[in-house]
Amino acid sequence: MTIKQSWAEPYKIKMVELLKMTTPDQRKAALEEAGYNTFLLKSEDVYIDLLTDSGTSAMSDRQWAGMMLGDEAYAGSRNFYHLEKVVQEIYGYKYLIPTHQGRGAENILSKILIKEGDIIPGNMYFTTTRLHQELAGGTFEDIIIDEAHDPENEFPFKGNIDLNKLEALIQKHGASKIPYVSMATSVNMAGGQPISMQNLKDLRALTNKHGIRVIHDMTRVAENAYFIQQKEDGYRDKSIREIVKEINSYTDGATMSAKKDALVNIGGFLAVNDWDVFEEARNMVVVYEGLHTYGGLAGRDMEAMAIGIVESVCDDHIKARVGQVIYLGEKMIEYGIPIVKPIGGHGIFVDAKKFLPHISQDQFPAQTLAAEIYQDSGVRTMERGVVSAGRKANGENYYPKLELVRFTIPRRVYTQAHMDVIAESVARVYERRHEIKGMKMVYEPKYLRFFQAKFEKI
């Protein structure tokens, strides 16, 4: 008999946060007050919080110790220089601009590189990224491979860019209208799906031919590196740290929300190799964020980020982090829950179209399902479908092929028992899925409506 070798957390627990346990009636009242939008729930009313993995990780003892070394000088903080050195050594980029979080970097980058009428190709949109590109006058074009739009397709690298689609855009608009290719590792909206190293190499060759930059959304680059290590030929014996640096070597710069991979509660940065872009960015950061040596962050936060980056590329850490996500996904598959396959790196994405086939996208099946799961167990998830996709310039809704509920697992926070509770809750809702009715939107904000929109049950 072959005995399975399980993964286990490469840490032990030093401190716990006590949680408030709620009743179904309390959760019903909380949902109604929040307009059935899980973003508007009070965190104290949430039992297991899977809304996001952004800024929700547990920091290590080393990170907490590092925060005590915070140099809060307005200019020239030693923590900035430590962070700069770590970004150069671990990620390989030359120049660093710290920002308060990832969208601060997206804002600055978009203002520098995008002109009115530009086209920005990318491997599936992300909400804040696309909005900043649009506000700068650009138009996002999706060039991800077709397999990414099929939740049941088990191609291992569904984050790959379709180079034929990119070539067609270059021929149609001309390279001068494409300031950069927006390439994300561990593509969020596709279900945390990775891009392969070979695809990156081919992308680099094509963009070099046409003189087009590649800008990397590297929020979850370490998780992408894990899938390359496990699934791509020639990388099994390479470390996560080595693979991360190679990924970055095929790009010209990156935006980073350090609140994910880098294991901190706040922070991000823009990193580039081009001096002229860096020079403009460090002038612009003073306008929108803070001085170029703190970018809206306290010194202690930069120190925690520098330490977190080093911890994030540790093989034992990333194996356990992705292993917990895979465990939850496999439990859901056992219960017959339709999820995006293969299982991604930062969460499980339930296919709301298949879960609630009787609810049309105009009645928000993913938003409805997220509310039903909270009602059942106090588990908070989030919608990633027509609400998140928003509206086109002409006012029409985007109707994405993927209508998903995202179960995002914070790093180093929950136990395997929590994963069991989550899967069992979804299974209970699945048993009564035919009784569930859709919703209508009764309040819609101008931008990024999924954060603040309100709904009513039909």
**350, 382 Cβ separation under 8 angstroms:** no
How many Å from the N-terminal Cα to the C-terminal Cα in the chain?
54
Choice between 418 and 8, residue whose per-residue pLDDT is larger? 418
Residues 229-276: tens digit of each pLDDT = 999 999 999 999 999 999 999 999 999 999 999 999 999 999 999 999
Query: What is the C-alpha separation between 180 and 136, in angstroms, rounded?
Result: 14
- Res 173: pLDDT: 97
Query: What is the C-alpha separation between 215 and 360, in angstroms, rounded?
Result: 36
- Res 352: pLDDT: 97
Query: What is the C-alpha separation between 200 and 194, in angstroms, rounded?
Result: 11
- Give the confidence band of 1 by pLDDT, cuts at 50, 70, 90: confident
The phi, psi pair for 179, rounded to 5°, reads: -70, -30
Query: What is the C-alpha separation between 289 and 298, in angstroms, rounded?
Result: 12
- Which two tokens mark 450? 């999924």
Options 20, 28, 61, 74, the catalytic residue: 74
Q: Dihedral sign, CA of 135, 136, 139, 142?
A: negative
- Res 71: pLDDT: 97
Residue type at position 296? G
Residue 6 pLDDT more than 90?
no
Options 158, 259, 384, 411, the catalytic residue: 384
- Which two tokens mark 65? 């110790």
CA angle 326, 327, 333 (to 5 degrees): 85
Cis previous bond, 342, omega within 30: yes
Residue 393 pLDDT more than 90?
no
CA angle 439, 443, 138 (to 5 degrees): 105
- Res 194: pLDDT: 97
Options 126, 140, 355, 430, the catalytic residue: 126
Residues 142-170: tens digit of each pLDDT = 999 999 999 999 999 999 999 999 999 99
Q: Determine whether 150 is an active site residue.
A: no
Query: What is the C-alpha separation between 149 and 71, in angstroms, rounded?
Result: 46
Percent residues over pLDDT 70 in the chain? 100
Options 162, 217, 301, 351, the catalytic residue: 217
Choice between 4 and 391, residue whose per-residue pLDDT is larger? 391
Residues 92-110: tens digit of each pLDDT = 999 999 999 999 999 999 9
Query: What is the C-alpha separation between 450 and 189, in angstroms, rounded?
Result: 14
Q: Determine whether 217 is an active site residue.
A: yes
Options 158, 260, 321, 449, the catalytic residue: 260
Q: Determine whether 36 is an active site residue.
A: no
Find, among 8, 56, 99, 17, the residue nearest to 261 by Cα.
56
- Res 300: pLDDT: 98
- Which two tokens mark 386? 């027509």
Residue 182 pLDDT more than 80?
yes
Mean pLDDT across 70-79: 97
Q: Determine whether 450 is an active site residue.
A: yes
- Res 382: pLDDT: 95
- Give the confidence band of 443 by pLDDT, cuts at 50, 70, 90: very high
Residues 10-41: tens digit of each pLDDT = 999 999 999 999 999 999 999 999 999 999 99
Residues 209-234: tens digit of each pLDDT = 999 999 999 999 999 999 999 999 99
- Res 19: pLDDT: 93
Query: What is the C-alpha separation between 56 and 348, in angstroms, rounded?
Result: 16
- Res 200: pLDDT: 98
Distance of CA 258 to the CA centre of its chain: 11
Mean pLDDT of all residues belonging to the chain: 96
Q: Determine whether 91 is an active site residue.
A: no
Query: What is the C-alpha separation between 310 and 24, in angstroms, rounded?
Result: 42
Q: Determine whether 127 is an active site residue.
A: yes
Say whether 392 sits in a helix, a strand or coil: coil
Question: CB burial class (10 A; 0-12, 13-18, 19+) of residue 78?
Answer: middle
Find, among 326, 311, 346, 341, the residue nearest to 423 by Cα.
326
Q: Determine whether 4 is an active site residue.
A: no
Options 127, 129, 255, 381, the catalytic residue: 127
Mean pLDDT across 418-423: 97
- Which two tokens mark 173? 């608009």
Mean pLDDT across 411-424: 97
**58, 390 Cβ separation under 8 angstroms:** no
Give the H/E segment covering residue 396: none
Record the pTM: 0.94
